[in-house]
Structure 1
Amino acid sequence: MIACVIHGSKDLQVEMRPDPHPGAGEVIVRFAAGGICGSDLHYYHEGRVGNFELREPMVLGHELAGEVAEIGEGVTKVQPGQRIAVNPSRPCLHCRYCLSGRSNLCKNVRFYGSAARFPHVPGGFAELFSASEEQCVLIPDSLSYPAAACAEPLAVTLHAVARAGSLLGRRVLITGAGPIGILTVAAVRLAGAAEIVITDLFDEPLSVAERMGATRVVNVKTAAACLETFIRDGGYFDAAIEASGNIRGLENCIEATQPGGRIVQVGIFPAGSAGAPMNKVLAKELELFGTFRFHEEFQWAVQA
């Protein structure tokens, strides 16, 4: 089969790999559609995502949808020919995090196209790839494969918004209008936020964010002065979600969130430490939450 394999920074190759065969409880999926995540781009440009560094060639891809091609012994939930979205996360289900309902924090998780473990876990940018039947979520004929492949980034967004707490009637800032930031706009709107402001450096993604429900967009490259309105009197927003993975975005969240508010960091920073004005976090008694991947939100994303 043909597979898309990253060997290192700027070294992406299309090569032949052996066809996979299903083990007990496993499914072979025929690739139909996939999304290119920001982490895939990090692996290509930098050879790493945060602290996860490539140490061997790896098949990329974790935003996936396809058709069941073959099933292994004991599989009962799906059958060959059925259309599925594929959850790229395969937690152990036995550790304390899994048993406490936080499988996204599983230390033994196998996540497609990730260099967190060694040997690395291959992704799904291949003609065929394997999955456990638990990773397979059936999709209706009315849902296209490309749309189904968006379930993974939407799940990331839903988990981040859940970490922000109740947003009903709240004023929310989102920094970064990439795919995650734009999907966050939609999720925050559905959560009942009264006002949604999103920032970015480029007008085109901001226009998409506006169509998704942002009440105001701010280009911080050409209209940075607009942010001053939100910084006065200690901050304007009840909550902020930082989706750019840029320290300046986090700084803006800290400045513009009112005392006692909550900030959720979903954007991934480059490797190494990222300096932030932590004394302002202390003085304003802000709640700074991390958010990592998802758990039951993947099923919600498919149903959405």
Structure 2
Amino acid sequence: MVPVTVQTELPTATLAVVAHAKGDLRLEDVPLGSPAPDEAVVEVAYGGICGSDLHYWLHGAAGESVLKAPLVLGHEIVGSVVHAAADGSGPPPGTPVAVHPASPAAGAARYPEARPNLSPGCTYLGSAARFPHIDGAFSRYVHLPARMLRSLPVNLDLRTGALIEPASVAWHAVSRAGDVRGKTALVIGCGPIGALAVAVLKRAGAERIVAVDMHAKPLEIAAALGADEVLTGADAEAIAAVEADVVIESSGNHHGLASAIQGAVRGGTVVMVGLLPAGPQPVLISLAITRELELRGSFRFNNEIDEVIEALADGSLQIAPVITHEFPVQRALDAFGVARNAAESGKVLLDFRAG
């Protein structure tokens, strides 16, 4: 663990990665106001580039969340507390932390109280879903509510910790399938979330794990994480022959969803964690009906982050192969260029302490 210098003065500005519009990504200094009484000042160590970050850069929108003003990107971060929250909540200075980036909030629509990830007023770091936008944490320093912070064990290095947020998404998806012990599992799409789902399935006791992707690199990562067999997405016959009890669909396109339905055993469960584009999508729904498949959505996560941290700390969850590239923050534009190439990269990290 890299030693942390606890500062006596609050920083007034910080270097940040900011999306201004479609194709307009900048590394620039942004002002930092004073933290609220319940906010800690965190020095960010690593940030993982997520698909939503790429969408804001490439398209000026992530799904229906459209940029209307400059947005600091990033929600997959780890770092260390340099100033504790003034109200005494949260960890003390010097504590290494991961971040749960959600702020659940009620709204007009009903939702199960035990599933705050579904709260209609929920906000997320680095999101343009609402206006004013919710800035993210791709910055050297950031003010964060103490309730978002999760203290990390001393034996968990921050580089691995940068995967805690996406690993929590994968953990939540696998949990939506129920008990997978002794079952055959099929993972469609082996980008970072799919690859992490392979690792979570392995830890959860799946007897056979088959991973599917269109590219060799993601399949190589999936095999390193515990996949027993890998298939190309073009091999429809082999996918259908898997007859998986549980399918994790993480490709985020209708072709992947079709493969998930075809690869599921009769009476099986398909968990849809890959977010398809907004609007109508072609689905093999007749096949899902006649096979009595259970199609379950999976969105973000709740307190699974605490289980992920525990599993990483005790070594029962192995996820290091997901990280394929690391760039100093000064090369953020290069990092985003690599991250957009799913054929060559897994999770790409920004190092905010470099330089």
Confirm or deny a common fold (TM above 0.5).
Answer: yes
Matches within 5 A, 1:264-279: 264-279=271-286
Which residue does the alignment assign to 2:332? none
Name the aligned partner's letter for residue 159 of structure 2. P
User: Is the contact between residue 104 and residue 294 of structure 1 (CA under 8 Å) also seen in structure 2?
Assistant: yes
Q: Residue 281 of structure 2 aligns to a residue in which SS?
A: coil
Name the aligned partner's letter for residue 254 of structure 2. I
Distance verdict in 2 for CA 1:191–1:259, change over 3 Å = same
Which residue does the alignment assign to 1:146? 159
Matched, 1:123 2:136: yes
Deviation at 1:92, TM superposition (A): 3.2
Name the aligned partner's letter for residue 242 of structure 1. E
User: Is the contact between residue 230 and residue 237 of structure 1 (CA under 8 Å) also seen in structure 2?
Assistant: no
Which residue does the alignment assign to 1:4? 17
Aligned to 1:182, which of 189, 195, 203? Answer: 195
Gaps of at least 5 residues in structure 1 are none
Gaps of at least 5 residues in structure 2 are 1-13, 312-355
Structure 1 stretches (4+) deviating beyond 2 angstroms? 92-99, 229-232, 270-273
Which residue does the alignment assign to 1:64? 77
Deviation at 1:103, TM superposition (A): 1.1
Distance verdict in 2 for CA 1:3–1:98, change over 3 Å = farther
Distance verdict in 2 for CA 1:97–1:23, change over 3 Å = farther
Which residue does the alignment assign to 2:185? 172
Name the aligned partner's letter for residue 248 of structure 2. I
Provide the rounded CA distance (Å) in 2 between the counterparts of 1:18 and 1:206.
42
Matches within 5 A, 1:39-50: 39-50=52-63
Q: Residue 274 of structure 2 aligns to a residue in which SS?
A: coil
Q: Residue 17 of structure 1 aligns to a residue in which SS?
A: strand
Deviation at 1:271, TM superposition (A): 3.4
Provide the rounded CA distance (Å) in 2 between the counterparts of 1:166 and 1:99.
21
Aligned to 2:304, which of 290, 294, 297? Answer: 297
Matches within 5 A, 1:222-301: 224=235, 227-231=236-240, 236-301=243-308
Distance verdict in 2 for CA 1:155–1:168, change over 3 Å = same
Deviation at 1:230, TM superposition (A): 4.4
| 1:231-290 deviations in Å (ceiling 9; x for gaps) | 25xx71111110111211100111121221110111112333221111111121111111
User: Is the contact between residue 65 and residue 149 of structure 1 (CA under 8 Å) also seen in structure 2?
Assistant: yes
Name the aligned partner's letter for residue 60 of structure 1. L
User: Is the contact between residue 109 and residue 120 of structure 2 (CA under 8 Å) also seen in structure 1?
Assistant: no
Deviation at 1:144, TM superposition (A): 1.7
Name the aligned partner's letter for residue 187 of structure 1. V
Provide the rounded CA distance (Å) in 1 between the counterparts of 2:67 and 2:280.
19
User: Is the contact between residue 61 and residue 112 of structure 1 (CA under 8 Å) also seen in structure 2?
Assistant: yes
| 1:37-59 deviations in Å (ceiling 9; x for gaps) | 11111111112222222221100
Provide the rounded CA distance (Å) in 2 between the counterparts of 1:93 and 1:155.
22
Deviation at 1:98, TM superposition (A): 7.9
Matched, 1:77 2:119: no
Deviation at 1:76, TM superposition (A): 3.3
Deviation at 1:78, TM superposition (A): 1.0
Matched, 1:32 2:41: no
Please provide the CA RMSD for this pair.
Answer: 1.9
Provide the rounded CA distance (Å) in 2 between the counterparts of 1:253 and 1:208.
20
Provide the rounded CA distance (Å) in 2 between the counterparts of 1:256 and 1:139.
38
Distance verdict in 2 for CA 1:245–1:81, change over 3 Å = same
Name the aligned partner's letter for residue 131 of structure 2. F
Name the aligned partner's letter for residue 228 of structure 2. T
Distance verdict in 2 for CA 1:168–1:205, change over 3 Å = same
Aligned residues: 298
Deviation at 1:108, TM superposition (A): 2.0
TM-score, normalised to structure 2, is: 0.80
Matched, 1:20 2:33: yes
Name the aligned partner's letter for residue 29 of structure 1. V
Provide the rounded CA distance (Å) in 2 between the counterparts of 1:182 and 1:229.
20
User: Is the contact between residue 85 and residue 146 of structure 2 (CA under 8 Å) also seen in structure 1?
Assistant: no
Deviation at 1:17, TM superposition (A): 1.0
Provide the rounded CA distance (Å) in 2 between the counterparts of 1:151 and 1:95.
31
Provide the rounded CA distance (Å) in 2 between the counterparts of 1:97 and 1:72.
32
Deviation at 1:66, TM superposition (A): 0.9
Aligned to 2:64, which of 51, 60, 65? Answer: 51
